[in-house]
A and B are shown apart, each in its own frame.
Chain A
Amino acid sequence: MNLEAHALTKAYRTLVAVHELSFTAGAGEVIGLLGPNGAGKTTAIRVLTTILAPSAGSFAVAGIAHTRPAEIRRRIGVLPESAGYPDRQTGAEFLRYHARLFGQSAASARATAAALLEEVGLAERRDSPIANYSRGMRQRLGIARALLNDPSVVFLDEPTLGLDPAGQEQVLRVVRSISGERAATVVLSTHMLGEVEEVCSRVLILNRGHLVADGTVADVARRAAAPRRGRFRVPAEARDGAVLALETVPGLGAVRPDDGRAGWLVVDAADVDVEGAAAALGAVGIPLLAFELEGARLSDAYLAMTEAG
């Protein structure tokens, strides 16, 4: 495993920012770290990146225990939340300097900086002062900085915050290549649930410092969505007959008209038997025009599991 956390806790006097966080992540995985503001995402990342010392628990990066922070820093790459940049330096100078801080020779730092600027699409602006970079370019420069040491684990804290859709897509493309081509583990903290559904293989949801969900996007969505709500659409004039027909289907429970939507019926059930419902309606000659299932999206799970809901 590239990343292992066991009962990791960070407390500030009486405030417990992260409470007994445990999870593991393998090579090439993209872990989405979700939670409302103040849930403990940034604190968790700062602990895992050795900026903050844990109050209790332990973690290891690429098998290196948290008690050896300098060695861990050699194996991780980080794009911090609200990362700042020296405006007077050029992108190439910035990367060369940080490569030297990671112990690379001047020649190696130059080559690494050039390759990474190419990888994140900044090669043409390599000699421009960072002051002239857009927010999206700065974020990509920050990601390039996080990759200087060819890390085993990359932590990206809100990498697409404030970016336009094109900028978000560029960053997500880089994230995919980090996990795909470099086979590094990526921990992606974000509020953009669409991004998580798009690029993450797993999701962790934090709420008030507690881990409330850990699994694939589909698993988490399914678990949190129970009980679900299904909506059937039938011809408006056949609504009463449809109610009687659907009430005969096992497991559907109470069937009621959907207020304000003519022809729509609502049922609450953990697993809606759509085929059974269609058969029951067909048996009395009522066509099933449409079916909607609520509560199967990550956003529903997120809202159900956090105080944001």
Chain B
Amino acid sequence: MKFNLLFDTMKLTLWDETTDLPLTRAQVVEMFLEFSASEKREKLIDIKFREVQLFKYVNVGEKEVSEVSIFNVTTSSEERSAAMTRRRKFSVEEGWNLEEIPQSSQKLEIELKKSQQSKSKNCKVEIKIDELVTAMMVELQDLRVMVHVNELLRILEFVNYVPEPLIVQDGDFEQRLIGVKELREPKSLEVIVIAKNNSICIPSPMEHCLIIQSTSFFNLNR
């Protein structure tokens, strides 16, 4: 079986009820998902993104916010710079809606339009599943992160939730559970993350700030 799915734009906006403002918006543009399963019981999941962005919102007036990009992986450096430096403004509408307030920034728009012609994908996730191994490979190219510590901690606090397992009222369930777990075949997990040409910026109110440029490699074997 082959399954190909193209997502146009997916946005997830998390709202902070204490401030009645959006806490963050995660945005994925042109995500291409490819799934194939062969007769040999091998499954391959390939995910490619054109753009992955994370924004924070700053209150700039009554019911008005400004958008700041804090995490960005895009297809070309022009777009990356344009998207990172762009400060879009939104009015906060009823029902958690953000309505964009149009601003004239021709230079930015031209740069954005130019870069949209590029078809390369800088963010790839490949997952291979067979009977014994689950291997996951994440490749990020030209990653840009603005480390706004406070925002990142608040987002982390918001998303940090692991549901409690369901309480099972079956007396001898535990015993059977052990039996079932023993019967399951051992499976190894392999995760590799490669991030090439990263720029991690720690913003500062001063004239200068710290930018860490690196190529990172992460490997997990279990």
A and B assemble together: no
